[in-house]
Structure 1
Amino acid sequence: MPSKTEVKKVIEQADLDKASAIRYEVFVIGQDCPPELEVEFDDESTHFLATVDGEPAGACRWRKTDKGYKLERFAVLEKFRGVGVGKALVNAALEALPADADYVYLHAQVQAASLYTRFGFEQSGPEFEEAGMRHYKMVKK
């Protein structure tokens, strides 16, 4: 059982490389997402890296869009699933949003939607497909 989960905002290139590698493994290899789609908007995003006992375990990002702030690319390596890494990532991303972030949303894979409801997100609109996977738009209330 892991003893220490930490999430930090990515500042150094080495941490960005670790976060990118996690996302590549989860989305491109694990879910067959096109690689060019997976890295779209990386340069304008704020990235986060989760570690468990110092080992890279998960990643996510957020970015400002014309609608508000979009949380994206929540990825947890398989061996770290079910121990709170996803929850820690969502919490860290929300805490790091700017004070003017009055509209916060995300596109949740259907199987992960329940995680986001625990943080006050509500489904907005019908199910849709993105990168070949089923999603819901969810908005923070």
Structure 2
Amino acid sequence: MSIMEILEVKKISSQEELEKAFAIRKIVFVDEQGCPPELEWENEDVSTHFLATMDNQPVGACRWRKTDAGYKLERFAVLKEYRGKRVGQALVAATLADLPVDAPYVYLNAQIDAVGLYSKFGFAVEGEQFEEAGIQHFKMVKK
């Protein structure tokens, strides 16, 4: 690993970039975590998508969308070999920076392992632990 690895997060603007994001999500959620594929591919057309690259290699993805409740951050996925390299933090920061400044209610469903990451950005656990796609989660709300 070189010290010069360049981590970038950009808002997806092409079908090619979107397919790279979907490929990452398939590896992480469907293959690695066993999520049902039909649950993974929903609301894509109403979401704003992001792709993280390291040295121009796609390494992470996420999205946000407006819901009846507010703005929901979703589908944060980082390839296993790039975890612990601040990719998740870069994705969260980029997503939050892209939301409207007056976004009144920002929330997400965090896998238990990711609660610490989101809390660094001002999210707080709200309510009881629950299961989504066979994985334990907490709802977290930006304070």
Unaligned runs of 5+ in 1: none
1:69 aligns with 2:71: yes
Aligned letter for 1:38? Answer: E
The Cα of 1:102 is off from its aligned counterpart by 1.4
The aligned counterpart of 1:20 is 22
Unaligned runs of 5+ in 2: none
Q: Distance in 1 between matches of 2:41 and 2:48?
A: 13
The Cα of 1:101 is off from its aligned counterpart by 1.1
TM-score, normalising length: structure 2: 0.97
The Cα of 1:100 is off from its aligned counterpart by 2.9
Partner of 1:40, secondary structure, is coil
Q: Distance in 2 between matches of 1:101 and 1:25?
A: 31
Which of 10, 13, 24 aligns to 1:11? It is: 13
Aligned residues: 141
RMSD over equivalenced CA pairs, Å: 0.8
1:29 aligns with 2:34: no
1:83 aligns with 2:80: no
Partner of 2:127, secondary structure, is coil
Aligned letter for 2:141? Answer: V
Which of 89, 95, 98 aligns to 2:97? It is: 95
The aligned counterpart of 1:119 is 121
Aligned letter for 1:7? Answer: V
Aligned identity (percent) is 63
Q: Distance in 2 between matches of 1:65 and 1:81?
A: 29
Deviations 1:87-139 (A, max 9, x none): 00000000001123110000000011100000000000010000000000000
Partner of 2:103, secondary structure, is coil
Runs of 4+ in 1 over 3 A off after TM superposition: none
Q: Distance in 1 between matches of 2:35 and 2:59?
A: 19
Q: Which moved more, 1:14-23 or 1:92-101?
A: 92-101
